[in-house]
Chains A and B, each alone.
Chain A
C-alpha cells in the first residue's frame, strides 16, 4: 500500500514530462497569476508600511507656565529626553523662542524692544517615532497625558493629522482591503483552477482507460493531484521569484524627494499565503477536474 502510494506519487510527478508543452504553459500561466497577485500584495504591504511609519511620527509642542523655575524646566526637558521612542527634543528658553520668531519673520521681526519684557514662555518641541509594534490603542494620547501631567506645564499641542490618517487607513483596511484581497483570491482561484483543469483535458483518455480497467477513484486522482500540486507549487514559487526580482529592480524608484519611499519585499507570511493559496487551488482543481 505504501509502496503503491509512493509509486503513484512518482508517477504523478513523472507524468508532467509526458505532456511537457501543455504543462510548461500551465506553469507559466500559474507563475504569471502569482506575479500579478504578488504585485497587488506588495503594493498593499508598502502602502500599509508607509502609513504605519508616519502614524508613529508625532511632534508635541510643550509650553510651561511663565512663573515656573527654569531649573525645574531643564530637568523636565531631560525627563522628556529619556522617554521611549523619542527621536529629538529641542528646548526653547523665552530668549531662544524670541530669536526663533525673529528668524522666521525675517526683516520684519525685530523684537529687540521686547528683550526685557519677553512674554514668551519656556517651551520644547519633542519628536517621537513609535514603531508599529508599540502602537497600542491610544498610544499618542498616553504620551500627551504624560507630558501634560508634568509640574509647571501649561499646555501641550500636537497635530493629530497623521494619527487620524493612519486611523482612517486602519478602518479602510478593515472595510475594504479584506474584501479586495478576497476578490483577488477569487480571481486567482478561478484563473489557476481553470488553467489546471484545461491542462488535465490532455489526460482525459488516461482517466477513461484507468476507469475501464477497474481503477478506483483515488488511484486515478492521486497522480493528478500530485502533478497539480507540483505545478501549483513550482509556478507560484517562480512567480514569487519574479516578484523579488522586480522588487530588487524597483526598490528605489520612489526613493526620491519628496517621497523617499523604499519599496520593501513582502513579509514571509504573505509569501507563504500566496504560495500556499495557489498550491491549494491547484490541488483542489485537479481533484475537481476528475469528477
Chain B
C-alpha cells in the first residue's frame, strides 16, 4: 500500500525527514509517534500529495509520488482518506453535505450517493443530525463527520494526523473503535499520535517512532530500548 525508499524532505536548510524506508501492507494499522516537529505531519502530507517528493521514492496506492503530475493528485486523494486534528470540515454546511462532498467530486449519481452517505452517517451515530450545520456540533461529533467523509468512499488507505488530539478520553476511545472497525474491513490506517491511550486501543498495530526526521520501528527487537523509553 505504501512503499518509501530513502525518502528525505527539507524545508530550506532543515531536514524534516531523513532517509526514511518504510513499507505498509494492505490492511495494516500503523502508528506514527514522536514529539512535535519530529516529522509526522510532513510524512503524512507527502503521502497524500500535499508536498512534492523530491528526494527518494514513495509509492502510495500504486501512485509513484516522485513522478506524479499535479493533475493526477486528485486521483491519488480519491483513494486515500485524510483525517485531521482540526477536523477540516465546512462549519456552515450540514453533516450530509460535508460527507457527500467526497462522493460528489467523483461524479457519483445522486441516488447511490445518498444511500451511501446516509449509511455512513448512521454508522457514526449521527443520523439525527444529518441536516444540522456542522458549526452546531460538538468537537467529537465534528470529528466523526470528518472521519465519515474520509471513509465514505471506501479508501484503501486512511491517513489520520492526531485525529483525537482535541477530544476527551471517552470520545477518543469511541473514535478508535470506529477506526478499528474500518480497519477490519481491510483498510490500511496510518495514524500520527502523541497519545498512549490511542496506542493501547489498537494493541496489534505497528508503532513507528519518528525523531529528528529519522524513523525507528518500536516493534522490532533490534531497535534500542532507549527509543522506547524516551517515547514513554
Contacts and interface: CB of A to CB of B under 8 A. Distances in A.
A8 to B, nearest CB: 9
Given A7-B104, A212-B77, 19 more contacts: A3-B110, A205-B88, A206-B90, A208-B88, A209-B88, A209-B89, A209-B90, A209-B101, A210-B101, A210-B105, A212-B48, A212-B82, A212-B88, A213-B101, A214-B77, A214-B105, A214-B106, A215-B74, A216-B74
A22 to B, nearest CB: 12
B52 to A, nearest CB: 15
A206 B101 CA distance: 10
A214 B88 contact: no
A214 B75 CA distance: 6
6 contacts: A18-B93, A208-B88, A209-B88, A212-B77, A213-B78, A213-B102
Interface in B75-98: 75-78, 82, 88-90, 92-93
Contacts, number: 44
Interface residues of B, number: 20
A4 interface: yes
B149 A213 contact: yes
Contact of B90 (A4, A205, A211, A219): A205
Interface string A16-30: 001100000000000
B221 interface: no
A4 B107 contact: yes
Contacts of A213: 77-78, 101-102, 105, 149
A102 to B, nearest CB: 89
Contacts of A215: 74, 105
B152 to A, nearest CB: 9
B90 A214 contact: no
Nearest to B103: A213
A212 B153 CA distance: 13
B107 A1 contact: yes
A211 to B, nearest CB: 8
Interface of B: 48, 74-78, 82, 88-90, 92-93, 101-102, 104-107, 110, 149
Given A1-B107, A209-B101, A214 B89 contact: no
- Determine the main DSSP class of A at the interface with B: helix
A215 B108 CA distance: 12
B147 to A, nearest CB: 13
Interface extent on A, as a size class? 10 to 19
Contacts of B90: 205-206, 209
Contacts of A209: 88-90, 101
A216 B77 CA distance: 10
A18 B110 CA distance: 22
Contact of A214 (B92, B93, B102): B102
A213 B90 CA distance: 13
A214 B107 contact: no
A216 B106 CA distance: 9
Taking each of A205, A206, A209, A219, which has the highest tally of chain B beta carbons within 10 Å of its own beta carbon?
A209
Interface in A99-158: none
Contacts of A214: 74-78, 102, 105-106
A164 B118 CA distance: 78
A1 B106 CA distance: 11
Contacts of A216: 74, 105
Interface string A170-212: 0000000000000000000000000000000000011011111
Contacts of A18: 92-93
Given A212-B48, A212-B77, A214-B74, A219 B89 contact: no
Contacts of A4: 104, 107
A20 to B, nearest CB: 11
A3 B78 CA distance: 21
B48 to A, nearest CB: 7
B65 to A, nearest CB: 15
A37 B76 CA distance: 47
A206 B77 CA distance: 16
A7 B105 CA distance: 12
B129 to A, nearest CB: 19
A4 B105 CA distance: 10
Interface in A191-250: 205-206, 208-216, 219
Contacts of B74: 211, 214-216
Contacts of A7: 104
Nearest to B105: A215
Contact of A219 (B77, B82, B105, B110): B105
